């Protein structure tokens, strides 16, 4: 784990282990948590069968003292060809560790519900997305602007062209948040209106009325780990 849900939301919605655990448990996946942002790492890569790099309010291009350890851990997981799925910050960390580049999103904050077009379907995308695209909550100021060498683009949109990519056959990153509900996004956007900008915040809030493909994407994550 590389960070936490804002404290004001934890009491109502839970932190990342609870959010991910609730959606993975029906698929028979159990979580073991390592708080890398608090200096807690695994003793061995054999401690888990697969790895999920969580979101974080920190920036991959920031100066947090634990960032080098996080980059080393992800780099080691990829080098050992252990299954890895990076979400938001974890997605950006995968790109940075493998030689890609993360920067502020040229179009500004990505917030609210976004639709992502799949450009390279994979067998573990089972079931496939309806209409060749999926919708999830976005909540990011940084994003991957250059894919790592050898990476394959899987999905994106105009705001975030590199929203999902695969590195080899055992690692992929996803910029949006499959663990976030519309209610979580609504509270986050409401608390950050001045930071995001009022017009963009209002558009994000309006986008949350439609369905999200959270269960679909978590089924993909499970299939990926088991493939």
Distance CA 201, CA 39 (A): 34
177 a catalytic residue: yes
Where do the H-state alpha helices sit in 46-130? Answer: 67-79, 89-97
Cα–Cα distance for residue pair 60/67, rounded to 1 Å: 7
What distance in Å separates the CA atoms of residue 59 and residue 149, rounded to the nearest whole number?
Answer: 22
Annotated catalytic residue within 13, 88, 160, 166 = 88
Task: For residues 51 and 23, give the distance between their C-alpha atoms in angstroms, rounded to a whole number.
Answer: 15
The answer on pLDDT for 227 being more than 90 is no
pLDDT tens, residue by residue, 88-143: 999 999 999 999 999 999 999 999 999 999 999 999 999 999 999 999 999 999 99
Average pLDDT over residues 1-6: 93
Tokens of 33: 């948590």
pLDDT digits (tens, 9 = 90+) for 7-66: 989 999 999 999 999 999 998 999 999 999 999 999 999 999 999 999 999 999 999 999
Mean pLDDT of the chain: 96
Residues 60-85: tens digit of each pLDDT? 999 999 999 999 999 999 999 999 99
> Does residue 154 have a cis bond before it (omega within 30 degrees)?
no
Are 117 and 157 spatial neighbours (Cβ–Cβ below 8 Å)? Answer: yes
Pair 138, 111: CB distance under 8 Å: yes
Q: Which has the closest alpha carbon to 181: 27, 4, 5?
A: 5
Q: Convert the pLDDT of each residue in 153-167 to its tens digit.
A: 999 999 999 999 999
Concatenated DSSP letters for 25-46? GGGT-------GGGT---S-GG
d(CA 150, CA 166): 9
Task: Give per-residue pLDDT as tens, 168-216.
Answer: 999 999 999 999 999 999 999 999 999 999 999 999 999 999 999 999 9
| Per-residue pLDDT at 1 | 87
Distance CA 177, CA 140 (A): 10
Please state whether beta strands 110-118 and 152-156 pair in parallel, antiparallel, or not at all (unpaired).
antiparallel
Query: φ, ψ for residue 124 (rounded to 5)?
Result: -75, -5
Q: Domains of the chain (ranges plus CATH)?
A: 7-226 (3.40.50.880)
pLDDT at 2: 96
CA distance 67 to 53: 13
């Amino acid at each position: 784990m590389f960070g936490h849900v804002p404290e004001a939301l934890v009491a109502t919605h839970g932190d990342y282990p609870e959010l991910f655990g609730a959606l993975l448990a029906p698929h028979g996946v159990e979580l073991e948590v390592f708080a890398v942002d608090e200096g807690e790492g695994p003793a061995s890569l054999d401690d888990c069968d697969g790895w999920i790099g969580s979101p974080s309010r920190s920036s991959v291009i920031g100066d947090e003292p634990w960032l080098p350890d996080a980059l080393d851990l992800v780099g080691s997981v990829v080098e050992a060809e252990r299954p890895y799925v990076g979400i938001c910050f974890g997605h950006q960390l995968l790109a940075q560790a493998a030689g890609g580049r993360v920067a502020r999103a040229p179009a500004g904050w990505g917030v609210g519900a976004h639709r992502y077009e799949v450009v390279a379907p994979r067998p573990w995308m089972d079931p496939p997305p309806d209409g060749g695209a999926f919708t999830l909550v976005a909540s990011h100021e940084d994003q991957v602007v250059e894919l790592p060498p050898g990476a394959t683009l899987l999905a994106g949109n105009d705001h975030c062209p590199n929203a999902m990519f695969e590195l080899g056959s055992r690692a992929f990153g996803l910029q949006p948040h499959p663990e976030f509900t519309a209610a979580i996004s609504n509270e986050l956007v409401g608390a950050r209106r001045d930071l995001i900008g009022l017009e963009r915040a209002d558009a994000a809030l309006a986008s949350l009325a439609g369905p999200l493909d959270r269960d679909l994407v978590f089924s993909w994550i499970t299939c990926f780990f088991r493939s």
